[in-house]
């Protein structure tokens, strides 16, 4: 059963078969076993090294899976901090902000209704995938047996981290647009956001409502009613409503997030989709700012030549990378690049711990529109 849900970069499967709360307990136990051992190997003995952050998306099955995952972790002796219904990038932020031993987000990302899964990270939010620990978690999970475990009642806490998360993201907005969003156009930006009835609605509401110079037009923000369309913005038909509203409202742009808001797709004022490679080149401009010399940008090697040519024209160094968040994150960390982008709508930032972040990408979109 475990072999069916462990993929190259995460756990993913239909609920309740093959993924259910019994399997979630085993995976929680295996994940804690892996992360606790890794902490010891790296020489960490502080309490936070034995603490794991858990977040979850808005799917109906996420609370139950999260609770079972948490119990498995605590039964293995790991402390758990539950940060609730959040976007996946917020879990990565929390692992770094709290200096925890690792984190897990309960999510099936862009998969349709009926699916769920887990995304894993280790200390500093560094990725866990095939070849970097995921097989070990799978093998440890396979032998975990609740009948042979004496619960140690490890520490558990729920914590609200929206305030520090918002502070970090809005600091980046002030940094990228120091003159403010209305300086160039002389009016507020009108942006339609389709949250795909997922975690993006909570994230945008918490972080961007009330931002001066921004007029948000909300689509599919209610995460309690199920998906109006599949939460995959790469499928063109899932953008139909967004396109219509952008044109009808005469908005400056539209943004669609996937189910856990770690990726986004942008349409222009005419409702035309901006490809991931062109978006990488455009967003790079606001990240590089007026001092591109010596900076690097990582880009999806499947991109058109315009990406590398534009990065070079801006005065920065383009670095091609194979597809996959593990490779992109490692490439950013290894090259000290400031930004990276994939055709899939994942955008990576050094100032977000070399991870992909839909909230940070939204800041870049606003910066591009305001310039």
Dihedral over alpha carbons 61, 65, 67, 73 (to 10 degrees): -170
Encoded tokens for 44: 């960490």
* The Cα angle at residue 206 between residues 203 and 207, in degrees rounded to 5: 80
Q: Which of 101, 146, 117 is nearest to 12 (CA)?
A: 117
Q: In what order do the strands lie in the sheet with 79-85?
A: 11-14, 115-122, 102-106, 51-56, 79-85, 156-158
- C-alpha span between 282 and 311 (Å, rounded): 9
* Rg of the chain over all Cα atoms, to the nearest angstrom: 20
Question: What DSSP state is assigned to residue 329?
Answer: H
- Clarify whether 121 is annotated catalytic: no
Catalytic member of 49, 66, 109, 357: 109
DSSP string, 86-120: --HHHHHHHHHHHT-SEEEEE--TT--TTEEEEEE
Asked if the peptide bond before residue 16 counts as cis, ω within 30 degrees of 0, the response is yes
DSSP tally for the chain: helices H, then strands E: 12, 16
State the catalytic residues: 109
């Amino acid at each position: 059963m475990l072999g069916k849900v462990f993929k190259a970069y995460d756990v993913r499967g239909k609920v309740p078969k093959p993924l259910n709360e019994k399997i979630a307990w085993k995976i929680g136990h295996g994940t804690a076993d892996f992360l606790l051992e890794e902490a010891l190997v790296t020489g960490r003995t502080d309490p936070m090294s034995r603490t794991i952050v858990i977040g979850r998306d808005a799917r109906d099955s996420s609370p139950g899976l999260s609770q079972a995952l948490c119990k498995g972790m605590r039964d293995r002796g790991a402390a758990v901090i539950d940060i609730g219904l959040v976007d996946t990038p917020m879990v990565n932020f929390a692992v770094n902000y709290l200096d925890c031993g690792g984190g897990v987000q309960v999510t099936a990302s862009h998969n349709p209704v009926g699916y769920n899964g887990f995304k894993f990270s280790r200390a500093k939010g560094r990725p866990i995938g095939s070849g970097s620990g995921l097989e070990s978690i799978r093998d440890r999970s396979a032998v975990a047996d609740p009948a042979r475990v004496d619960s140690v009642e490890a520490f558990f806490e729920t914590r609200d981290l929206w305030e520090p998360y918002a502070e970090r993201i809005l600091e980046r907005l002030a940094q990228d647009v120091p003159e403010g969003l209305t300086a160039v156009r002389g009016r507020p930006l009108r942006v339609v956001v389709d949250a795909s009835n997922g975690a993006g609605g909570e994230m945008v509401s918490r972080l961007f409502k009330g931002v001066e110079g921004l007029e948000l037009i909300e689509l599919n923000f209610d995460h309690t009613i199920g998906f109006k369309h599949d939460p995959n913005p790469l499928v063109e038909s899932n953008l139909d409503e967004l396109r219509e509203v952008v044109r009808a409202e005469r908005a400056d742009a539209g943004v669609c997030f996937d189910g856990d808001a770690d990726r986004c797709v942008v349409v222009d004022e005419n409702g035309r989709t901006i490809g991931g490679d062109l978006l990488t080149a455009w967003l790079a401009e606001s990240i590089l700012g007026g001092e591109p010399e010596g900076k690097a940008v990582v880009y999806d090697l499947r991109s058109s030549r315009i990406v590398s040519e534009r990065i070079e024209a801006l005065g920065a160094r383009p670095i091609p990378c194979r597809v996959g968040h593990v490779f992109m994150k490692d490439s950013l960390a290894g090259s000290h690049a400031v930004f990276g982008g994939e055709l899939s709508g994942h955008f990576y930032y050094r100032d977000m711990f070399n991870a992909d972040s839909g909230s940070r990408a939204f800041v870049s979109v606003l910066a591009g529109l305001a310039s």
